[in-house]
Amino acid sequence: MAAPPDLDLAFAADTELPPELLAAAGPWADPLSGAEAWHTRMEDWLAQLSGELPPHLQAPAYSLGLSLVGDAEIATLNTDWRSKDGPTDVLAFAAQDDDLNGAPPMPLPADADGAESLELGDIVISVDTAARQAAEHGHNLEQELLFLASHGLLHLLGWDHPDDTSLEAMLARQEQLVNVPAEP
């Protein structure tokens, strides 16, 4: 596996989420340890995916945002951005989307090592919906959050699922990402 790229991760977890959900999410929803845990996991996933990325998405450093919210907030985003009512599990707002009217990739200023970061976008996950889905799928909330975050990351990297075949491929890739332990 390739060495992990540098990652600038903006992480936020809604502190207004019910305490039982925050507890069930473990370190993944903690504002301090969650940022570190997600940073390590996302860097690892980007390293695993590096050989599969198209040239315009290959970079020595990336920047992205990850927010854990409740159903009310994600329902508002879902309505505003997708014109769909109600909550959803995960939304990905890709900065490198081909549908950005031909705009060039959005690099960020160089980091301290001189590496130019490529802005990937933002992932928003509803912890409420994730908890319901975890129960339906027979696993814990932590596992569901990882699965949804991997789904969001793949969307930021250009994956999509317009049909059953591409959805199956995407879900299989998510399983591979989630089930490979993060490098220490």
pLDDT 10s digits, 61-101: 999 999 999 999 999 999 999 999 999 999 999 998 655 44
- Closest of 168, 150, 147, 170 to residue 160, by C-alpha: 170
Q: What is the pLDDT of residue 99?
A: 54
Mapping DSSP to helix (H, G, I), strand (E, B) and coil, where does residue 140 land?
coil
* pLDDT tens-digit map of 134-171: 999 999 999 999 999 999 999 999 999 989 999 999 99
Helix residue ranges, H only, the chain: 19-24, 33-49, 71-82, 127-137, 141-156, 164-179
Q: What SS3 state is found at 8? A: strand
DSSP state of 157: T
pLDDT tens digits, 161-182 = 989 999 999 999 999 999 876 6
Predicted confidence at residue 100, as pLDDT, reads 44
Decide: 144 and 133 in contact? Cβ < 8 Å. Answer: yes
CA dihedral 125, 131, 137, 139 (to 10 degrees): 100
Cα 145 from chain centroid? 9
* Token reading at 151: 């789904």
Q: What ranges do the domains of the chain cover?
A: 6-179
pTM over 0.85: yes
- Is the domain defined by 6-179 classed in CATH 3.40.50.2000? no
- pLDDT tens figures, 49-64: 999 999 989 999 999 9
Count the alpha carbons within 13 Å of 22 in the hemisphere toward its beta carbon. Answer: 14
Q: Report residue 111 as tokens.
A: 């980091």
* Residue 12: predicted pLDDT: 95
Alpha-carbon span 49 to 171, nearest angstrom = 14
pLDDT digits (tens, 9 = 90+) for 13-37: 998 999 999 999 999 999 888 999 9
